[in-house]
Amino acid sequence: MGPGIGPLHQDPFNLTDMLAPLARDLGFDLIGVEYQPGTRARLRLYIDSQTGITVDDCADMSRAVSALLDVEDPIPGKYTLEVSSPGLDRPLFRLEDFARYTGQRARIRLQRPLPGSAPAVPGGRPQRNFLGVLAGVEGDVVLLDTETGPLRLPYADIDKAHLEP
């Protein structure tokens, strides 16, 4: 199973399994796959490497992926392919990403609000957006230190997350 969380980060066509070896062959790490369906469907791939990513790297990966997807044709209909580096506001896809960036500020959006009774939820109102410092991972729970206290966020409930520069 490939990386991905939440509706935006779903990999409904299991592209990660198909594209990660291609990325490795080109010297890249496939960080994540985002697919956004609709009339302007978009497939976005995030790649990285030890030396960073250039525009030429993105173009090389895009050409290789386009050739493979043209043959395999796993996605019905039209879509736009985008390949980019994770950037400063790096998206967090995999559970290991949350562990790797422990100590960094992150913004996390849940699929459903945490109930207002949850510890560290300010004002007692249900909340689904959180900003804090990643404090690690315990099992399948992401630990986030917020201004109002520590939170335990189940990985399965995370809709979208990224580092906050």
Residue pair 119/151 in contact by the 8 Å Cβ criterion? yes
Q: Is 146 helix (H, G, I), strand (E, B) or coil?
A: strand
Could you tell me the residue range of the domain that residue 53 belongs to?
Answer: 6-84
DSSP state of 115: P
> Is residue 90 one of the residues assigned to a domain?
no
Owner of token pair 């497939």: 43
Q: Which pTM does this prediction carry?
A: 0.79
DSSP class of residue 38 equals: S
DSSP H/E element including 69: helix 55-72
- pLDDT tens for the chain, residues 1 to 165: 344 455 445 677 889 999 999 999 999 999 999 988 899 999 999 999 989 999 999 999 999 999 999 999 899 889 999 999 999 999 999 999 999 999 999 999 999 988 765 666 666 778 899 999 999 999 999 999 999 889 999 999 999 999 999
Domain identity same for 116 and 136: yes
Residues 45 and 104 in one domain: no
